[in-house]
A and B are shown apart, each in its own frame.
Chain A
Amino acid sequence: MEYLAWLYYQYLLVTGIYVLEPWEKSIFNSVLFSAVAMVIYTSYVFVPIHVRLALEFFSAICGGQPESTMALMN
């Protein structure tokens, strides 16, 4: 808990929002929070699909190509 308070204090200092008024702090926090939340959400939704597509793509390249070259050689 102590550590979390310290961490929050460091966050306040480094971003500079230590000097802001409380309502400005909450604006900044909510903007930052929603941005981070959106990043996480989008990654949750889209990353698996992309990963699967990418996997298919690469396996198509790596797995498929030798076959086709072989086919050409023949």
Chain B
Amino acid sequence: MTESSANKLLNGDACRRTSSGQKASKNGFVKNHCLFQQPQKYRCPGEKNQHGAHNSSLYKRPFVESFEQTPLLVAVLTYVGYGILTIFGYLRDFLRHWNIGKCTMAREREEQKDFVPLYQDFENFYTRNLYMRIRDNWNRPICSVPGAKMNLVERVSPDYNWTFQHTGNVVQDVINMGSYNYLGFAENTGACADAAVEVTQKYGVGVGSTRCELGNLDIHEELEQLVARFLGVESAMTFGMGFATNSMNIPALTGKGCLILSDELNHASLVLGARLSGSTIRVFKHNNMQSLEKLLRDAIVHGQPRTHRPWRKILILVEGIYSMEGSIVRLPEVIALKKRYKAYVYLDEAHSIGALGSNGKGVVDYFGLDPTDVDVMMGTFTKSFGGAGGYIGGRKELIDYLRQHSHSALYATSMPPPVAQQIITSMKIIMGEDGTTLGADRLRQLSENTTYFRRKLCEMGVIIYGNSDSPVVPVMLYMPAKIGAFGREMLKRNIGTVVVGFPATPIIESRARFCISAAHTREMLDTVLEAMNEVGDLLQLKYSRRERAPPPIRWTSEESQLQD
């Protein structure tokens, strides 16, 4: 998968299809002693309804996650739509080839014509002939703080999205349903902004050196101690960029002879880090613990390919909240597996830190687990804290090792002081150390908003994916034309949303994604829901064939597979 079109389609968010990693070989010998028995063999891809967990005894609260199956007719029509668009794509390419009509895209120069063609693979075809037509839904310039409401720069395209011109007008007060502003800390006023201004006056903005040279300010040390305290781990370290935290630290942790077990929907940064590390990568089905257990057992039974030596390390890569599916990792089961098979867990809490749990401490808090059970706690400050950068938390030995070996600690400039201060202040607010209940209010507001919004959408009859507690709400659109139409119709109603298509999602599962924030008021959500209702009728998005929201599942039967 090339990153380019993924980035374009998603505003730089995620390219989340791991294609590397071969299927595990057949599990020949060990058949019993499975931690998680497979009730039926793997779920077939069509059957995607997963209500609740299999190992209910591990969960303290109902774990309701649903992925309603795509209706067959919709799937067929979606493919038909793509077929028609592909035919027209070929027609346009043909015309361009013969220089009929104006050609505005990149192409080989005359001297290069005899070389290997540059723009002929599927990604290029897709970008040129499908993405280009609805490009106006992405990369829209914003000219205010992207809080609950934002201002957009109005732009027009005279040539069907090949070029854009700014009209000079501003679209005022668009409700922002796309930013990862879970706790509403993206603000230009308030305690965080004031503190950041103060720190700017003290330290300036740039640092101009790396952490191990002259870029190690006292504010960084303070931040790291605070992060460690917030997470409940021994030690933590911070980096200037969340993406680099993943992609540069995984190679420091594993290498040749190690095995990485990665969820199939992991973020591009995790995928890149895993590939850079040179370890063997195997991919398990999204949030499917039977699949993970099978891979673990195979890995332990067979060892490395050919030599059959045992793997030096086995690292499981999972995310807290998956930003495209809105699902929450089955962490209790992952930790049970990890303990049983003596593997390590790397948990990326980019979306979940601050957004989940009664204290805002991420999935660990949400499930009421012990943070020391997770070996590497990674997260970013980009989302809930309204800052930038990432952190890694864990045991002291781990952090000391990473300080010596991580590229993003050794070679990357450290975090700008105002950003560090923004994170410190917002984190203290969340922890309640500022002496107010502002943080607790925000957390409560976020979970109320999430529940309300999800319930209303469910009642409306659109298909939404994910866990009922996740503030990321994907609404399924399926058909390619609806991606463009949805974004435009919502913007007409003054609502900014993110629409996502291939390659960030499977080709038929295009979706729109709402990110709920604590900054949204009930009125805003009602406006959005009303618009959503109208657009849902207009675009016929109410695919759901469920009568009503699934009742939360209460656990009664105690399963005791863990005690064997």
Residues of A within 8 A of B (CB): 6, 9-10, 12-21, 24, 28
Contacts and interface: CB of A to CB of B under 8 A. Distances in A.
A13 B540 contact: yes
A14 B79 CA distance: 10
A14 B81 CA distance: 6
5 contacts: A12-B481, A14-B80, A16-B479, A19-B480, A20-B88
Contacts of A6: 538
Contacts of A15: 80-81, 84, 481
A13 B485 CA distance: 8
A16 B540 CA distance: 14
Interface residues of B, number: 22
A10 B540 contact: yes
B77 interface: yes
Contacts of B538: 6, 9
A13 B88 contact: no
Interface of A is mostly: helix
B482 A13 contact: yes
Nearest to B134: A19
Nearest to A12: B481
Contacts of B134: 19
A27 B134 CA distance: 20
Interface of B: 77, 80-82, 84-85, 88, 91-92, 130, 133-134, 160, 479-482, 484-485, 538-540
Nearest to A6: B538
B484 A14 contact: no
A16 B81 contact: yes
B84 A28 contact: yes
Contacts of A17: 84, 481
A18 B88 contact: no
Contacts, number: 48
B481 A19 contact: yes
B479 A14 contact: yes
B484 A18 contact: yes
Given A19-B133, A20-B133, A21-B160, A13 B84 contact: no
Centre residue among A13, A17, A24 by max chain B CB count within 10 A: A13
A24 B538 CA distance: 23
A28 B88 contact: yes
A14 B82 CA distance: 10
A28 B81 CA distance: 12
A19 B482 CA distance: 9
Contacts of A9: 538
Which 4 pairs between the two chains have the least Cβ-Cβ distance? A16-B81, A18-B481, A19-B133, A16-B481
With most chain B CB atoms within 10 A of its CB, the pick from A6, A12, A17, A18 is A18
Given A9-B538, A10-B540, A21-B160, A16 B485 contact: no
A49 B480 CA distance: 43
B513 to A, nearest CB: 20
A19 B80 CA distance: 14
A13 to B, nearest CB: 5
A13 B539 contact: yes
Contacts of A18: 481, 484-485
B492 to A, nearest CB: 14
Given A21-B160, A24-B88, A28-B88, A16 B82 contact: yes
A24 B133 CA distance: 12
Nearest to B483: A19
A28 B540 CA distance: 22
A16 B483 CA distance: 10
Contact of A13 (B91, B160, B481): B481
Nearest to A21: B160
A19 B81 CA distance: 11
Interface centre among A14, A20, A21 (most CB of B within 10 A): A14
